[in-house]
Structure 1
Amino acid sequence: MKHGPSFLCAVCGKAYVRKSWLKQHLRVKHKLTFHVASSTIPETPLQTFMKMALIYRDTCDAYSMGDGGRIVRNAKFEWVYAGALHHTKYKIWLWRMITYINAILPPDQAFEYMWNMTVNLKGGIKSNIPNDNCVELQVFNIKRELNTQGANKSFESARNICMTTQVIDKIKEQVMFTSNVAKSSRNRKEVDKSKDILTMVDSLRRKGPVSELSWESFSKYKDPLSKIDIQKLHDWINEQKEIADLYM
């Protein structure tokens, strides 16, 4: 265990300057064995899929909780995956998010940006949505109001709708509150999966349990991170730095 500048043996109390010497002492004198993870075992397609799926699930949970710190941490993994899978737009967007917080913005603005990536439209825990999703909802409402004008559509009418949509919604909510009108729920009804489960059980009864699953495309699936060219990634980062220096 670590004790000041040295490492102490928990069994006999002998001190060592280096951690490797303490481990050697534990092996020789106290016959302790240390587990060493083998790096020769190849990663299976299922492990690769689960790793990506868990990152995605944790990101969705981070957005729903409004956890800006977790969103940024996961964005670093997502940026690497986006580059490996050649999703250029997402790669640039995630890169800019990370650099705004870690390098470009001053500390107070970076903190504000990190913890204002979501918006809560209906209150409650785990009811946050990403800001870009909120913008999409707002654009949908504006388009819906604009389509009611028919041939009278114009740039001026679109601008008026953009400036008054939120105000009208607030007035509507206030009128409904004062007149005790029940507000329509935005929650979706829970899907009844009982029929699907019965169908699966009937299928298993007829065909028996599935012992082997041969899926050629999945069995040959490789980890996207294995496709990364480190030199190209390094060159891309330097190119983005030059672009930032040019426009800042």
Structure 2
Amino acid sequence: MHFKFEDWHAIRNLFEIHHKIFFKDASAKDRGTLVANMNMLKCSNAKQGPTKAYNAYKDFVSKDTTALFLAAAMEHLGLTDMEEIPDDFIPLRVLAGTMEDQRKFLSDMVADIVDRFIKLDHDASISQVRGPSTPLQRDHKTEHTEARLSFSFFLLNMLDAVKEGDGERLMRLYLLGLKFYKAFGHTQYACSTFLMTLQLKATLAPCLAHSLTWNRFWNGRGGQGNNMPLDLHLEHQNNFLKSFLKGLGPNLSEQAAARISQSIGPLRVMMDQTDKELKLTKPSGIHKAKQDTEDILTLVRFLGKQLYSDLKPEESLVHSLNSVEIC
């Protein structure tokens, strides 16, 4: 029995589904849509989609989701400005309480916001992304925004599970991902996810099921939150190998390629150790812009409080929602 880990490819595939659902050029004029927010931040690379610019699109989804959630929190708490701090916003008993009391207060507040605006869970149907079948009685813009917020949180949850090396959480999220794979025609990923779930729940011995759940990450820097999927690490190793094969030029042969591939692991360790001893720095590989906070605050101001209330249906958003076909 052979196991193949493709978490990076599977999550990237879900981002492509996200792009298929919510990226509509016709919605660029409507405030709060994915395209309008991209235009606001001038994210030309992200507009290419996850197929051509995965890292740029993933980073933008993170900013967009954070801004949507902050706008939702402002609506839920009745705030009109990010800098506004109403009197008695935090009860005195909480301010004077222990760290645990303050943590519980924050957790309960966030839970209330999530329960109000996040619509997807493991028992929910994919049809919630599309909404009910009475278009004339629907607030399409709110439905569109809440569906995007819900799906984006699902994607960020998967990314966080990978970073934290939380295989159990990732397996739970794949159960929801399975529905999206099936609904949008990604049958190979749907079949692979189903077979993996079947192996974990029924066919594998407990020790093998435990290994399949948890031994799917790689951490080359140590510390918490620095894990990556094994298939992404393999992609990096393949690129490292190809750089040596390219240098052989006309001397490239099957024997030379095999010799280099067998020594690539120890060579990588030697090079990293040499860089460490010489105190040489290199790019971390994390595609993260420094102005994330500024971009998020710009989006929150652009979205405004009316994003979730007192909205009228928009033609392009009706098209955006109705174009989602559920199998």
Shift of 1:157: 1.8
Instruction: Give yes or no for the alignment of 1:119 onto 2:218.
Output: yes
Aligned to 1:90: 189
Instruction: Give yes or no for the alignment of 1:134 onto 2:214.
Output: no
- CA deviation digits over 1:134-165, x for unaligned, max 9? 11111111111111111112222221221111
* 1:1-248 pair list within 5 angstroms: 42=132, 44-177=143-276, 179-186=277-284, 187=286, 190-192=289-291, 215-220=314-319, 221=321, 227-228=326-327
Task: Tell me, yes or no, if the aligned pair for 1:142 and 1:165 is still in contact at 8 Å.
Answer: yes
- Output the CA distance in 2 between the equivalents of 1:164 and 1:105: 34
Shift of 1:201: 11
- Output the CA distance in 1 between the equivalents of 2:237 and 2:150: 34
TM value normalised by structure 1: 0.61
- Output the CA distance in 1 between the equivalents of 2:294 and 2:168: 41
Instruction: Give % identity.
Output: 24
Unaligned runs of 5+ in 1: 1-40, 229-248
Instruction: Flag the structure with higher strand content.
Output: 1
What secondary structure, in the 3-state scheme, does the structure 2 residue paired with 1:94 have? Answer: helix
- After superposing on structure 2, the runs of 4+ consecutive aligned residues of structure 1 that deviate more than 4 Å are 193-204, 209-215
Unaligned runs of 5+ in 2: 1-130, 133-137
Q: Partner letter of residue 184 of structure 1?
A: K
Shift of 1:69: 0.4
Number of positions where the alignment pairs a residue of Structure 1 with one of Structure 2: 182
Q: Which has the higher contact order (CA 8 A, sep 6+)?
A: 2
Point out the structure with max Rg over C-alpha: 1
Gap change, CA 1:94 and 1:168, over 3 Å in 2: same
- Output the CA distance in 2 between the equivalents of 1:67 and 1:93: 20
Gap change, CA 1:78 and 1:201, over 3 Å in 2: closer
